[in-house]
Amino acid sequence: MHDTTFSRPLTFAPMRLRRQVLAALQCGMALSGIGAAYVRMRGVSGAVILMYHGITDREDENWIDPRFAVPVSVFERQMRFLARHRRVISLDELLSLIAAGSSPPPGTVVITFDDGYRGVFTKAAPILKRYNLPATLYLATGQVTRVEAQWIDTLYSLFNARSCDLLHLAEENLGPVNLADPGNARASYLALADRLLPASQGQREKILTEIAQQLRPLRAPPPLTLSWEEVRQLRRLFPGIEIGVHTRDHIDLTACEPQVAVEEVAASVADVRQALDLVPKHFSFPYGRSNSAARSAVIAANLSSAAVTDPAVLVDSDGDPYAMPRLSAPSSMALFPFYTSGAYPQASLEVFGRA
């Protein structure tokens, strides 16, 4: 019998033409050697910190928002490229260089993963071990304890596996909307994602429950998040992957009260200590968002570093350990050599006016 679960998968708008042109020009800078020449002439130094989320295959690609996923085949090619053409160091080594006032040479890369996707264990870790590459995994510890998918993937799964097309969320000022229309489905999904991002754990659960009741999904997703037992296995089998923290419930620390930020960070540290008998050293801000209260919460928890997302710059001797910028890893190989060469983003900004 034909499986109709994903007969109407959620789709996203293609990359805008201006962005396509910029990406093509950036690829050209790498292939032509202009990027490498820029690095040499400007004496560029500093490391790129790559940020990954889900690593997917055909089994789970319909359950994880593709904007936050890299196919395992692409990930393997990226890691092979790094092993052959770049210098990959651990986050600890990068921080030691910064503390010593040194800047790593261009082409230095640090690998990180956010959230605690199961695919890091089942798909990414064996590849990292094959190429002897270190990495840091930041866990949203409450979701690991509950073995609960990221809220964005729960929402994505509900839309993809829905058996009903009518959605009306009066309290969220959404609908009624007919999701049979792909444009309506995409717009509604993105609007709900914007609403859920700054929400509390309780607010998210309430909204997602109501959506599930209305859309009546035909199937539940497979396990997408690591359990603590799997994290313990990961540490035994792949000691090159260090465990960091990413709050307990993956909430936006800039959208909550300062005391909630303190509790979220401290709770994630306590969860790791209890489950793994380990004192974590590194933190990444959910959604890359930080402010003075969130930063203070991280320092109060005796963590050694914290990662953000903006601005996308290289990390050099002047780097702030509590505001370490990361670059979201591309979901293809096309831009990967340029992004990890040391030429990005400054060469792109100077030549094209955009990164």
pLDDT single digits (tens) 46-77:
999 999 999 999 888 889 999 999 999 999 99
Residue 235 sits in the same domain as residue 119: yes
Q: Which of 163, 170, 246 is nearest to 207 (CA)?
A: 170
Q: Choose the final residue of a domain: 182, 215, 248.
A: 215
Q: Note whether 50 and 136 are same-domain residues.
A: yes
Q: Report the alpha-carbon distance of residue 114 to residue 304 in Å, rounded.
A: 17
What is the pLDDT confidence band of residue 224, given thresholds at 50, 70 and 90?
very high
Does residue 245 sit in the same domain as residue 306?
yes
Using DSSP's 3-state secondary structure scheme, residue 61 falls into: coil
CA distances from 98 to 95, 305, 310, 318 (A): 5, 11, 19, 7
Whether 315 has a pLDDT exceeding 60, the answer reads yes
Question: Is 236 part of any domain?
Answer: yes
Predicted local distance difference test score (pLDDT) of residue 70: 96
Please indicate, yes or no, if residue 279 is contained in any of the structural domains: yes
Residues 191 and 124 in one domain: no
Tell me whether residue 21 is in a domain. Answer: no
Across the chain, mean pLDDT equals 93
Provide the domain count of the chain: 2
244 neighbors 137 (Cβ within 8 angstroms): yes
Mean pLDDT of 25-44: 89
* Mean pLDDT of the 140-162 span: 96
Report the share of the chain in percent with pLDDT over 90. Answer: 78
Mean pLDDT, residues 91-117: 96
User: Do residue 126 and residue 163 come from a single domain?
Assistant: no
Say if residues 252 and 294 touch (Cβ distance below 8 Å): no
Q: Report the C-alpha gap between 249 and 211 in whole angstroms.
A: 20
Mean pLDDT over residues 73-101, rounded? 97
In the predicted model, what is the mean pLDDT of residues 126-153? 97
Q: Are strands 174-178 and 166-169 parallel, antiparallel or unpaired?
A: antiparallel
Position 256 in a domain: yes
* Same-domain status, 171 and 306: no
pLDDT-above-70 percentage for the chain: 98
- Domain assignment of residue 3, yes or no: no
Per the domain annotation, does 232 fall within a domain?
A: yes
Per-residue pLDDT, averaged over 204-232, amounts to: 96
19 domain residue, yes or no: no
User: Tokens 């202009």 map to which residue?
Assistant: 34
CATH number for position 58: 3.20.20.370
pTM over 0.75: yes
* Domain C-terminal end among 215, 232, 253: 215
140 and 255 share one domain: yes
Structure token pair of residue 339:
């992004």
Domain-located, residue 72: yes
* Domain termination residue (choose one: 215, 245, 261): 215
Same domain, 58 and 134: yes
What pLDDT was estimated at residue 15?
A: 72
DSSP assignment letter at 315: B
Alpha-carbon distance 56 to 71, whole Å? 5
pLDDT at 2: 45
Q: Half-sphere exposure of residue 123, counting CA atoms within 13 Å on the CB side?
A: 27
Tell me the per-residue pLDDT of 2-33, one tens digit each, with 9 for 90 and over.
455 676 778 787 778 888 888 888 888 888 88
Judgement on whether residues 229 and 210 belong to the same structural domain of the protein: no
183 and 330 housed in the same domain: no
Residues 278 and 164 in one domain: no
Strands 47-52 and 54-56: unpaired
| 244 shares a domain with 175 | no
Domain range for 89: 45-148+223-340
pLDDT beyond 90 at 133: yes
Q: How would residue 312 be classed by pLDDT, with cut points 50, 70 and 90?
A: confident
> Does the pLDDT value for residue 283 go beyond 60?
yes
- pLDDT confidence bin for 1, thresholds 50/70/90: very low
